[in-house]
Amino acid sequence: MQSQVLAWFRGYVEVEIRGRNIETLLNEAAETGCPVWGVRRVGEGTVRLYTDLRSFFSWRPLLRRTECKIHVTSRRGLPFWLARMESRLFFMAGMVLFVFGVYLLSQLVWQVEVSGNERIADEEVAAAAEELGIYRFQWKFRLDEPQRLANELMRRMPGTAWIGVEIRGTKVHIRVVEQTVPEPRPLMSPRHLVASADAVVTEILVEQGQVLVRRNMRVKKGDILVSGQIGDEASGRTVVAKGSVKGLVWYAYTIRSPLAHQHKVYTGAEKTRRYLVLGNRALMVWGYGELPFQTYETSILRKQMKWRKAELPFGWIREQLKEVDVTERTVSESEAKNIGLAQARADVLAKAGALAAVRDEKILHEKIEGGKVYMKVLFEVEQEITRELPIVQGE
């Protein structure tokens, strides 16, 4: 028995054989080497079997000898299928055309995708690509090699560090890596740098401009430290004065520091009250009863019902009452002084800027009155003393 697949390719027929000497016919067919398979009896004197298309014609003498009649009941396999297709020429043509059409369409560029660009617009990349022939409905085989396309694109597009062109199926993917360009300097109008406070100059660092002060020089608030006017009157020009000038500035402080400090301590006892809010009114629903403590702090948590963004006139409030114990601690005179000074120092530094440092401090006057220490202190702070003053043209 041969393979079923092979039989299909060569074509085979199902035949019905009628006659009395069917066994003899089978024997002779086997003898001559005709492939015969699937022989089954379907009735008295009738047998159905399959045979090869090629050997079908060699049956004829056998049939005549054994007085059997043959009748083909079905034709199977590729040769018959092809014959049938021949009669459906247009159908076949359509099928071939369809396959060809799909192939052709797959040879087109359907999409050009640009990615990785942030500053350069997609359209700009696409326009440059179009000049090289990368556009929608372009034939893929008309495109150059991706590597060469990428190089050419890179040459045409300034501001890119790298461009990659990848053709994947019907999609052309252009990946762009932009050059990182340093940010342009902000434009500034010509200006002077002037003193922001009365000070003694300690340090001068100038990038641009005419320095008008020296170290250890005393300046007044508003004095020009670095001038934006360079050169003489006739051939001068105005520039943006840039730099940093540091100076010693004095701050006088009056400090008041109490000798007794109050401390609040939570004892841990607490009571919760809950209210239902209707419009402006609150109705207590939980937490009735006397408070078991006198001194307490309240914290309120309010929740209002909302529908989208509009507030509804319903809500609830949770009120927490925590008992506090107030203890008083008396501090010594020197301790009170230190606390006061520390506070004042922090305050000064906050005013004078980040780079400031306290160089010296002098207590000018101190007294104790009514349980408090009063002090007058002079801080000497080294800080940046420049302030920008624009030069008004035409003055």
Which residues sit at the interface with other proteins, rule CB under 8 A?
1, 22-23, 26-27, 29-31, 33, 35-41, 47, 49
Give the bridge partners for 328, in sequence order. Answer: 262
Specify the residue, 37 or 100, whose C-beta has the smaller distance to other proteins. 37
Segment (H or E) for 89? helix 89-106
Residue 40 CB, shortest distance to other proteins, in Å, is 4
Residue 1 CB, shortest distance to other proteins, in Å, is 4
Residue 50 CB, shortest distance to other proteins, in Å, is 10
Q: What is the DSSP letter of 169?
A: T
CA end-to-end distance (rounded Å), the chain: 115
Residue 140 CB, shortest distance to other proteins, in Å, is 52
Residue pair 10/82 in contact by the 8 Å Cβ criterion:
no
Give CA–CA dist 58/36, Å, rounded: 12
Which residues, at least 6 apart from 367, have a Cβ–Cβ distance to it below 8 Å? Answer: 373, 374
Specify the residue, 37 or 139, whose C-beta has the smaller distance to other proteins. 37
Specify the residue, 68 or 128, whose C-beta has the smaller distance to other proteins. 68
Q: What is the DSSP letter of 140?
A: G
Segment (H or E) for 276? strand 260-278
Give CA–CA dist 37/2, Å, rounded: 9
Segment (H or E) for 339? helix 333-352
Segment (H or E) for 387? strand 386-390
Residue pair 226/243 in contact by the 8 Å Cβ criterion:
yes
- How many Cβ atoms are within 10 Å of 358's Cβ, its own excluded? 16
Residue 35 CB, shortest distance to other proteins, in Å, is 8
Give CA–CA dist 215/246, Å, rounded: 10
User: What 3-state class would DSSP assign to 35?
Assistant: coil
Residue 57 CB, shortest distance to other proteins, in Å, is 19
Specify the residue, 38 or 222, whose C-beta has the smaller distance to other proteins. 38
Specify the residue, 67 or 113, whose C-beta has the smaller distance to other proteins. 67
Specify the residue, 49 or 385, whose C-beta has the smaller distance to other proteins. 49
Specify the residue, 36 or 197, whose C-beta has the smaller distance to other proteins. 36
